[in-house]
Structure formats: structure tokens, C-alpha cells
Amino acid sequence: MSHEFIARRQDWIAREELAERMIPLIGGLYRDHGVVTSIHGRRLINRSPVDLLKAHRFARQAGDVELDPADTIRVLEALREIAPGPASIDVARLVQRHREQEDAGGASDLVAFLRSELASVLVDDGAEAAGGTDVVLYGFGRIGRLLARILVAHTGGGQGLRLRAVVVRKGGPNDLQKRASLLRRDSVHGPFQGTIEVDEERNTILANGTLIQVIYSDDPASIDYTAYGINDAIVVDNTGRWRDEAGLSQHLRSTGVSRVLLTAPGKGAIKNIVHGINHDAIDDADRILSAASCTTNAITPVLAAIDEAYGVVRGHVETVHSFTNDQNLIDNFHQGDRRGRSAVLNMVITETGAAKAVSKALPQLEGKLTGSAIRVPTPDVSLAILNLQLERPTDKTSLNRYLRQVSLTSPLRQQVDYIESPEVVSTDFVGSNRAGIVDGLATIASGTDVVLYVWYDNEYGYSCQVVRVIEAMAGSHPVVLPEREPVRAEAGEPVSV
């Protein structure tokens, strides 16, 4: 074997060993202190050593240099020493800021630096941890089961959201086992990461230590949740059965419910919330809210970033959308035009209200956007094509550089991702936790005319947005540190996205 081969292999083994040492540190910070660690938005919790090393390699997007696992270990060990309170902490940005401070001749002590950076979340040893918020899933379909997976994974020490119950209509004598099996196995998103136990006598599912009560009911107004120890719960209606205030307010008549969130566009005066854009509009008085649609969540953050930097005059949104379970496997009756034709054999032109719904979160775009959709024979991941006319001109390089930075350091980092690869296809984005992913190589820009291609996992990415809205409703969304920064568009002023 060549010396280079041996050296490369030894380097990998050393890096893998460092990644293995990170796992108990990451887990302890999460379970004991409610600290969610990440590298430029890539969560480190419950990741394998190889996944952790991939996240370190991703850091090249931000600084053209791969993050050294040895630097990460030092930060994680220092975090364990200072024991901060619940927060979302970007390890890569802490490493970067500490290095910048050292280069500028500042203090080099890492613990002192972290105490300064994280001062807002340092807690007294005797401080009592805040209690969690009970969450009930009304419905257990595609979105409901993904919400369950995410909520179980986010339970941590129990200070945040706590999935307490699922409400469904009983489908037969073996209903509970079948519901648990659908949670355990998914043809698109793969197996559940953990263990699931079923107690048919008590009608419960135990998922990774989270006890979920399964309640059989077809009446949202007559359930006594307090009988199951559930109080002041947020009910997440993912059935789509009711979308107006009259229908959704039925949940509020059940004992133990404080608020309701709809996982579909709301009708009438219901606020449609796109997290990252208008979640600050949530008031304590809001009893019923909507998390809008998957497409609205995918395109609104990108449109907000573009409008803030360049101004949007007008545009058209075309969505190439995977089929959904309201379509037919084979031709059959459907009330919608063309929707009765086979979903797995055809591309189907249809309507979408996503473009018009953008203005509910971004009022300045009222009347500026049109939209249409094509349903295609894929089970998940969709593509939005934004054809926009801007107020201020740009070019492909400048526009992509701006959107890349938005995805890395701006307040929209959780919503907007960015990729440049000539080989990516839709299945590469299954499981993405961002609302939308800008495909930089597909960008077209000529003066004030631009075309952007935005991928989105219309199931999982949307479900992550829903959970963020639930956290905002509960007041449990973690403090983000270091604080995200404004992004400067070239030849312009800093923008607030």
C-alpha cells in the first residue's frame, strides 16, 4: 500500500473516533439541558459518526474550509462545563466567531468566550426547568404520522412539546396494531428510528419512551382529554375535514384544549402562519391558526428574501407536485377537474391556491403572483418554479451568492436551503427539514427577469414547519445562538431576512 493510502485511512479513523466521542456530549446536552446543537442548521442529535462527519464537510459551504472535528469536540466539552439552558446552538458559527476573536487579538479562553456568547441562556444550578406543552394529533395520516415522528424525536427532557394523544376513527378490531405499524414503517420516509410498543388494553403506543394515548372518536367537541391527564393542549387537526373557524372551533369545546392548529390553508379570518415569515403575528388571543400549505411554506421564504433584496414586481409560480392521497390510483370519479384520472400514470394539470396564499403571510405581494400546478407520478418531493420580474437587476452569480448566504446565516436559515449539484434529483430531498431548497445551478437571471427552482419535501419539510408553528404557539421555540445575521445583497443594503 502507498504511504498516501495509509495516511488517508489513518486520518479518517482519527476523525471517526472524534465523531464517536461527540455522540454522548451531544446527547447529554440535549437530554439534560434542552440544547439542540447543529452545524449551519444541520442538527447533530441522533446522528451516526459518519453523519456527523458529513455535517462537518458541509461547513465548506460557509467558509470554503471543512470544519475540524477537534474544534467541535472542544466546543461541546466546554458547553457541557458551562451547562446552558434550552437553546439552539450552532457549533460551527461559535468555532468561527471564536477564531475571528483570536485572530483579532482578543481573549483566547474558550469557556470565557462561550459564557459571553451564551449569556442569555445561562441558568442558575437551582433553577427549575420549565414545563412542557401537551400536543394532540387529531388525525393520523401522512402528515399526522410524520408529526408524531418529529415530536417524539424532539421530546428531549420534556421541557418543550409533548405528544400526548392521537385521535382517530376506529377502523376495525386490529386498528391499534395497524396504526402502530404505519408509524413503524413508511414506504417513502423509511423505518421509524427507535422502538415502538403497543398496549391494546390501555390503547397506547410507546414510541422511544413517549407514551401516546390513542383515542377513538368521530366528534371533536366531546372528548375529555383531562381524563388522560392532558391539559391546555394544542390540538393539531391534520384531517383537512374542517378548514373554517366554525368547524375547527369544535375542538375548543372538548375539555383540556386551549388552542387549535390546522395543517392546511385556513379559510375566512383564520391567520395562515408561515414560520420564519409571520409567526411573530401569533397572539395569545389566537385560539385557531393555520400552518398554510406545503407549497406556500416552500415559496414564501424564498419570495420574502428576493422581495427584500430586489423587489418583486410580478411573478408566476408553477408547481410540479407529487401526487397526494386524494387522487386515484386508477381512473375513477373525482369532483375536481382531471383529478379523477390515474395519479400514477399521468401528469395532471390542476389548480393551486399557493401563489395567492403567499399574500396572507407577505401582504406586500398581494395581487402580484399567479400560480398553477402539475401533479406528477412521484410519491413525495415537489418543485416550485418561480418566474419573477424584479425592481432591481441582478445576475445569476450575485443572486445565487445571496440566496446561499440566506440559507446559512440569516433568520430564514431554517426555511431556506441551497444546493449546487449537476446530479441532484427529487429523491435526494426526501427527508429535508427545510421548507424549500433553491437549486442554484438551475437559476436563470437576466437583468430584472429571474427564474428560480425550489425543491421541497411536501410531506416532511412541511411537517417540520408545522412543528415550528406549534413551538411558536407554545412559546417553546428555542433561543437561537449565535443570533442570525442580516444578509447583504450585492450592490444593496443589508436586509432583514
User: Catalytic residues, which ones?
Assistant: 294
Q: How far apart are CA 322 and CA 392, in angstroms?
A: 34
Could you tell me how far CA 242 lies from the centroid of its own chain?
Answer: 24
For residue 479, the tally of other CB atoms under 10 A from its CB is 14
3-state SS assignment for residue 386: strand
Backbone angles phi, psi at 288, to 5 degrees: -130, 130
Nearby residues of 82 by Cβ (< 8 Å), 6 or more positions away: 111, 114, 115, 118, 122
Amino acid at 254: S
Q: How far apart are CA 3 and CA 111, in angstroms?
A: 39
Q: Are 309 and 489 in contact (CB under 8 A)?
A: yes
User: What cell was used for 272?
Assistant: 395562515
- Written as one string, the DSSP assignment of 69-131 is HHHHHHHHHHHHHH-B-SEEEEHHHHHHHHHHHHHTT----HHHHHHHHTGGGB--TTPPPPP
Q: How far apart are CA 68 and CA 92, in angstroms?
A: 9
Q: Are 320 and 371 in contact (CB under 8 A)?
A: no
Tell how strand 348-350 and strand 382-395 pair up: unpaired
Q: How far apart are CA 148 and CA 192, in angstroms?
A: 10
Q: How far apart are CA 447 and CA 452, in angstroms?
A: 14
Q: How far apart are CA 27 and CA 45, in angstroms?
A: 6
Q: Are 134 and 145 in contact (CB under 8 A)?
A: no
User: What cell was used for 14?
Assistant: 482519527
> Beta strands of 114-228 (E only): which ranges?
133-138, 161-168, 196-199, 204-207, 210-216
267-272 long-range contacts (CB < 8 A, ≥24 apart) are 267/243, 268/244, 269/245, 270/243, 270/244, 270/245, 271/360, 272/296, 272/357, 272/360, 272/361
Tell how strand 133-138 and strand 161-168 pair up: parallel
